[in-house]
Structure 1
Amino acid sequence: MKKVSLFIILILGIVFITQAQTNKIPKQEIPADYGYIVKIGQQIPDIEMTLTDGTKITTADLKGKVTMLQFTASWCGVCRREMPHIEKEIWQKHKNNNDFALIGIDMDEPLETVKKFAKDMKITYPLALDPGGEIFYTFAAKGAGVTRNVIIDRSGKIVYMTRLFKEEEFNEMVEVIDLLLEKL
């Protein structure tokens, strides 16, 4: 009986922490021209991806983690400008936190191109392959531009989204990640 009570208290604590952190997140209006087909507050769609090292990751693997999905491509100039900031200001800060996941999702490029891209950009966070843009088009409309980030809370809800690399929006995204990872 004590184990059940302790379990219930633990679950309620996690719900309370998640709710308290989510309440601190700035309310965001996503402009229509961002081209998203997902919405703030929506559960992350079911996705499956393969990292460049062959590791498979599903939506279920991300449950309980604050997750950043970064959509990118080697030919994208804005992505190339943003990636060093992601590496330095987000990945290096949180890479050892088991409650955080960052995955760059490279749109429709072969494995060797994606590996070379990571090496050229000097990024150490994991990149996933997205043949045909299948994952990308689960989040964004056909014809929408690649440079974008989606932040997902521990419960699997989308809480913040960016488009292009705008310093103010990027800095706010960094704050959102930090808030979601706070221990209350």
Structure 2
Amino acid sequence: MKNLSIALLLVLFAFTAKSQSADERGYIVKVGDQAPDNFELVLANGQKTSLKQLRGKVVILQFTASWCSVCRTEMPHLESDVWKAYQNKNVVLIGVDRDEPLAKVQKFHEDMKITYPLALDPGADIFGLFADKKSGVTRNVVIDQNGKIAYLTRLYDTNEFNQMLKAIDGLVKNPVAASE
């Protein structure tokens, strides 16, 4: 009986470790997964929201930081090609700033001349629900109207970014039917 218990514990440990292990790009989630939604987003302007509140919309979470040069390269494209292009089409883009204080996030928002909101992520706890905390930003998580992950990006690659835009466009033109 003791050997069976130990074997079951080892299987359970292996399963748990496997389910939380990061892929080659650092993600611990994958396309098709229900997005983690057990957190609140506190925006730099003081407003609060959550993925649960945004259900029914396409949501893009852009994990970013002021020190990230690739993020700074990508942000103008997110502003024009996602935020401006889709903000009136039931799409929400929120930059989730990794572990920086409010004043720095507000300055970053102003310096980048973006109009989409930035949220605070103290301790990178929100980031850690989607990717291994040891992995880096920039990355985008596209979440469909039912809260499922529809597309994932890492770094800023023009081809991958364009594929993300196609995925967003597809979700806007053919909304996912409610599964509840």
Q: TM-score range by the shorter chain?
A: 0.7 to 0.9
1:180 maps to which of 171, 174, 178: 171
The whole-number CA distance in structure 1 between the counterparts of 2:128 and 2:60 is 17
> What is the TM-score with the length of structure 1 in the denominator?
0.80
Moved beyond 4 Å, runs of 4+: none
The whole-number CA distance in structure 2 between the counterparts of 1:136 and 1:183 is 28
1:148 maps to which of 135, 139, 142: 139
**Shift of the alpha carbon at 1:58?**
1.4
Superposition pairs of residues 159-170 of structure 1, within 5 angstroms: 159-170=150-161
The whole-number CA distance in structure 1 between the counterparts of 2:29 and 2:113 is 30
Asked which structure has the greater RCO (Cα within 8 Å, sep 6+), the reply is 1
Q: Which has the larger radius of gyration?
A: 2
Listed as ranges, the gaps of 5+ residues in structure 1 are 1-30
1:135 pairs with 2:113: no
The question of whether the paired residues in 1 share the 8 Å contact of 2:83 and 2:116 is answered with yes
Aligned partner of residue 52 in structure 2, secondary structure: helix
The question of whether the paired residues in 1 share the 8 Å contact of 2:41 and 2:48 is answered with yes
Partner of 1:37: 28
The question of whether the paired residues in 1 share the 8 Å contact of 2:96 and 2:120 is answered with yes
The whole-number CA distance in structure 1 between the counterparts of 2:87 and 2:107 is 21
The whole-number CA distance in structure 2 between the counterparts of 1:34 and 1:124 is 28
Identity rate of aligned residues, in percent? 56
Partner of 1:114: 105
The question of whether the paired residues in 1 share the 8 Å contact of 2:124 and 2:133 is answered with no
**Shift of the alpha carbon at 1:183?**
5.3
1:81 pairs with 2:81: no
What is the aligned residue count? 153
The whole-number CA distance in structure 2 between the counterparts of 1:66 and 1:56 is 18
* Amino acid of the structure 1 residue aligned with 2:53: D
